[in-house]
Structure 1
Amino acid sequence: MESVRADAVGTDHASDVLAIRGCQLDAVDPATLLADEIRRRPWTAWASPDETVAGTGSAATISVTSGDRFEAVRERASGLFANQDVATNLPPFARPRLFGGFAFHDVGVDRHADADWTGFPDAYFHLPAVSVIERDGETWLTAAAVGPDAPSTAEQTLERWQERLTNAQPSTESPPGIAARSQIPERGAWTEQVDAAVERIDRGDLRKVVLAGAQTVDLAGSLSVPAALDRLSETYPDCYRFAFAPEQAGAGTFFGATPERLLRRDGPRVQTAALAGSIGRGDTGAEDEWLAEELTDSPKDSHEHALVVEAIREQLDGFAETVTTGERTIRQLATVQHLQTPIEAILDTEVHVLSLVEALHPTPAVGGLPPDDALAAIQEAEAFDRGWYAAPIGWFDAAGDGEFAVGIRSALTRERRATLFAGAGIVADSDPDAEWDEIQLKYRPILDALR
């Protein structure tokens, strides 16, 4: 059996063996694992500047719908990782990892009806039954199994999938095209939302709040998400490209290409960045340079960015021996430019990456300040459910290391419909028209992958 559900992974499963077996592959694209004829739910795609991972099926699943979701995932993962049998030939990057994410809002927050997040609970992670990992010039196929017969099951699965991948090819379907689209909120309602937010900031109730919109598109044909990810990888090679397709019946697929790293933990070293303040791209190098200068000199964008840097530093201070802020630069993407400041911390104690995720989410780049007041304002203003949009997505391992991005520049798709999400940071001198133009720019990455 290649897939074993483990919704209640924890002490009840602590005696189960988690086995990983693997072998090196020659000239196999990880996306081959996601070809239509062999892909099965749940499946995951994850690509960072360092590696590309595709996983299908599930050796174990952790799903949380109540209580302290971060602590619950940590505890259940600890039980899953307690008894490992990992093949000695595997490189460190082929170690067992759980992939998944969290909802933007905490457990118990009322959900709006718009944007159907069926299958995406408050927290969901899975250990793929089969993975293809490309990193450091090597490509590895791994098979995972959980249970008393896990070692033999993993070995059999590995042998079977070696054969299956021999003649498989990645999905190469053309974009489906867009038949129609609509937005929430419409332009007039957006202006009212921004004006109301600015009024609250002027009163001193808020310092910043990030308001988001949702654009629903009816597709002219069927969408291959793996093929869309391939198109995104060509345009956004330095972004995190991701897709999560839970196994629950009726669940859609959440995918995108986000420029925003939430954090990466490698032992005591934590890397993150502030990404806030936006402007478009020009048609020429000279226009790009002029727009970048406008962004750099913008009091509104500089203020918004400084709030994010300050908040991240404060959130890390409680865990770190040192926190270092790098030089602010311009991050250029295909359709937009951002202000970016790298931030690095050295931990002064052993801290699981999920504890850091809990402390940092949501950053002011996607939530606001003060955090609780901003979250309440978002829930009151927005007429759709953010679900996993702007929330932490990524992976972690048995050592408590991991990497998480922020699920922006993203969409939720099901059958021939996709809902795209984009947000803008509102501060004291925000202009509704300028902020409207900004979120239209942020829809572009996914729209371009669809049409």
Structure 2
Amino acid sequence: MPPHRDGQLSAGSPLVTRTCRVPDVSFRSFLAGQAAPRLYWTSPDGLEIAATGAVTRITATGGGRFDAVRNQATDLFDSVDTDDGPDATRPRLFGGFSFDTEHQPEPPWDGFPSAEFVLPHVQLTRTETETWLTVSASETATAEETLTEMQAEIETLPTMRPRGESPGIESTTPITSREEWCSQIRHATDRIRDGQLKKVVIATALEVELGESVVVPDILERLRTSYPECYRFLVQPTSSGGFFGAPPERLVSLRGGTVETEALAGSIGRGETPEEDDELATSLADSEKVREEHELVAETIRERLEPLASSVSVGERRLKRLSTIQHLQTPISAEIGDREHVLSVVEALHPTPAVGGLPLEDAMRTIRETEGFDRGWYASPVGWFDADGDGEFAVGLRSGVAANDRVTLFAGNGIVADSEPEAEWDEVQLKFLPILNELE
């Protein structure tokens, strides 16, 4: 499928969207035939969106980036001319934020500023029952013409596309050696025991050289089979590289004034037999260290939601099992009415103690001094929001940034006073496996 024209907005132009129903097709075939920017989002509740092109981009930097994005989006959504498509096809801005406001868009994060959201030119939306094509542009004629052209092209795509071969791994190189990692963990635990910190999350990265260029839509399709209970996303702002992953953790969902979030902290591997699996789960639930870490995360999320909410409800802790790892999970919900935007909630929660630490400023200082690399968009809010301020964001974990025949993967562990460096090293290696397994 040839690249399409972007119906880019000029200053003061209205946003025009047009929608039609199309036969169900392979979303990965659609994405593979398109040039950057490319976007993909699917959530465990079944919504799936593949999009390409940019009608407009919203970017921001610095400490006021959440408000800046929100204000620019409000101006954009104030003049929308849309047809009578279903609610699932409504205009949305897709993107995310860097983990740290000090982030600079340098390799491997070329093209990823501190905050960027894209309103796509062409979007495919799959609901539980139907597939829809939406085109957004600055002029009605452009939107309607492109809709007709893209409808004809989409009808030529296959309904299914074979899973395909993975690119294969030539070599892997840890950015942090085992010895360096253990030293970093000892440094962190010393600060915790001295009372400077309660918890800090230390991350590392793995550079992966591939046998051939990676086709990210193919990897996302493989992740669909392996991790159907997770989010899956791709944010590719330029041809330089794409950030993708299959995170298990929802940061926030806001619909009609109801916030849904969760504490996901504490992890262990999967057993080779059901009995071993259950033994590992029991040891996870019984670990005083893990319970302390998990309860710290859940309590902090509750405290951060309270100033925004009329009520906050914390559910029962439970086990969340994935293919290669299992976690402790506590669901949390809140009622905030219609006065708050999802970005206000994102700003209040990011970074949660599950990816940052406590106290937050001290944890961030420790992360900057200790890790020795820029997290970029790893462990950051990635998702979408609409004109009503509703939206959904995942935490950018179990993720990597890909360019040609190289992928850089990221993973981190929550460190508390009695964390053991060698055990933390073994645990963090498990968190690379979801993506590594699909690349091999």
TM-based fold match above 0.5 = yes
Tell me which of 7, 30, 35 is aligned to 1:33: 30
| Partner Cα distance (1:406, 1:116) in 2 | 19
Task: Name the amino acid aligned to 1:34.
Answer: L
Q: Is 1:326 aligned to residue 321 of structure 2? A: no
Aligned partner of residue 157 in structure 2, secondary structure: coil
| Partner Cα distance (2:388, 2:162) in 1 | 34
Deviations 1:236-294 (A, max 9, x none): 001000111103x6x21111100010000002100000000000000111111111100
What is the aligned partner in structure 1 of residue 6 from structure 2? Answer: 3
1:136: how far off?
2.6
Tell me which of 38, 44, 48 is aligned to 1:43: 38
Aligned partner of residue 88 in structure 2, secondary structure: helix
What is the aligned partner in structure 2 of residue 218 from structure 1? Answer: 209
8 Å contact kept, 1:30–1:134: no
Aligned partner of residue 260 in structure 2, secondary structure: strand
Deviations 1:402-448 (A, max 9, x none): 00000000001111111000000000110111111111000000101
| Coordinate RMSD, CA, aligned | 1.6
What is the aligned partner in structure 1 of residue 69 from structure 2? Answer: 73
1:172: how far off?
4.7
| Partner Cα distance (2:7, 2:143) in 1 | 12
| Partner Cα distance (1:299, 1:172) in 2 | 42
Residues 2, 111 of structure 1: alpha-carbon distance in 2 compared, 3 angstrom cutoff: closer
1:166: how far off?
1.4
What is the aligned partner in structure 1 of residue 387 from structure 2? Answer: 398
What is the aligned partner in structure 2 of residue 140 from structure 1? Answer: 132
Tell me which of 186, 189, 196 is aligned to 1:205: 196
Deviations 1:283-336 (A, max 9, x none): 111111111100000001100000100100000000001100111000000100
1:207: how far off?
0.2
Aligned partner of residue 218 in structure 1, secondary structure: strand
What is the aligned partner in structure 2 of residue 240 from structure 1? Answer: 231
What is the aligned partner in structure 2 of residue 131 from structure 1? Answer: 123
8 Å contact kept, 2:103–2:113: no
| Partner Cα distance (1:427, 1:111) in 2 | 29
- Identity %, equivalent residues: 49
1:27: how far off?
2.5
Aligned partner of residue 430 in structure 1, secondary structure: coil
| Partner Cα distance (1:268, 1:29) in 2 | 34
Extract unaligned runs of 5+ from structure 1.
7-11
| Partner Cα distance (1:43, 1:348) in 2 | 33
| Partner Cα distance (2:166, 2:27) in 1 | 20
Residues 328, 410 of structure 1: alpha-carbon distance in 2 compared, 3 angstrom cutoff: same
Task: Name the amino acid aligned to 2:43.
Answer: S
Task: Name the amino acid aligned to 2:153.
Answer: R
Q: Is 1:85 aligned to residue 97 of structure 2? A: no
Q: How many residues align?
A: 434
Tell me which of 14, 33, 38 is aligned to 1:17: 14
| Partner Cα distance (1:394, 1:310) in 2 | 24
| Partner Cα distance (1:309, 1:27) in 2 | 40
Q: Is 1:370 aligned to residue 359 of structure 2? A: yes
8 Å contact kept, 1:394–1:402: yes
Q: Is 1:122 aligned to residue 114 of structure 2? A: yes
Residues 145, 4 of structure 1: alpha-carbon distance in 2 compared, 3 angstrom cutoff: closer
What is the aligned partner in structure 2 of residue 430 from structure 1? Answer: 419
Q: Is 1:98 aligned to residue 86 of structure 2? A: no
**4+ residue segments displaced more than 3 Å:** 110-113, 169-173
Tell me which of 328, 336, 341 is aligned to 1:347: 336
Tell me which of 240, 260, 271 is aligned to 2:260: 271
Task: Name the amino acid aligned to 1:448.
Answer: N
What is the aligned partner in structure 2 of residue 441 from structure 1? Answer: 430
What is the aligned partner in structure 2 of residue 9 from structure 1? Answer: none
Deviates more, 1:370-379 or 1:132-141: 132-141
Task: Name the amino acid aligned to 1:441.
Answer: L
Task: Name the amino acid aligned to 1:135.
Answer: T
| Partner Cα distance (1:258, 1:119) in 2 | 22
8 Å contact kept, 2:189–2:416: yes
Task: Name the amino acid aligned to 2:275.
Answer: A
Aligned partner of residue 432 in structure 2, secondary structure: helix
| Partner Cα distance (1:430, 1:417) in 2 | 32
1:68: how far off?
1.2
8 Å contact kept, 2:205–2:410: yes
1:129: how far off?
0.6
Extract unaligned runs of 5+ from structure 2.
none
| Partner Cα distance (1:446, 1:49) in 2 | 18
Task: Name the amino acid aligned to 1:133.
Answer: T
Residues 110, 33 of structure 1: alpha-carbon distance in 2 compared, 3 angstrom cutoff: closer
What is the aligned partner in structure 1 of residue 222 from structure 2? Answer: 231
1:118: how far off?
0.8
Tell me which of 254, 269, 275 is aligned to 1:280: 269
Q: Is 1:60 aligned to residue 66 of structure 2? A: no
Tell me which of 293, 296, 299 is aligned to 2:288: 299
8 Å contact kept, 1:258–1:409: yes
1:31: how far off?
2.6
1:65: how far off?
3.3
1:4: how far off?
4.9
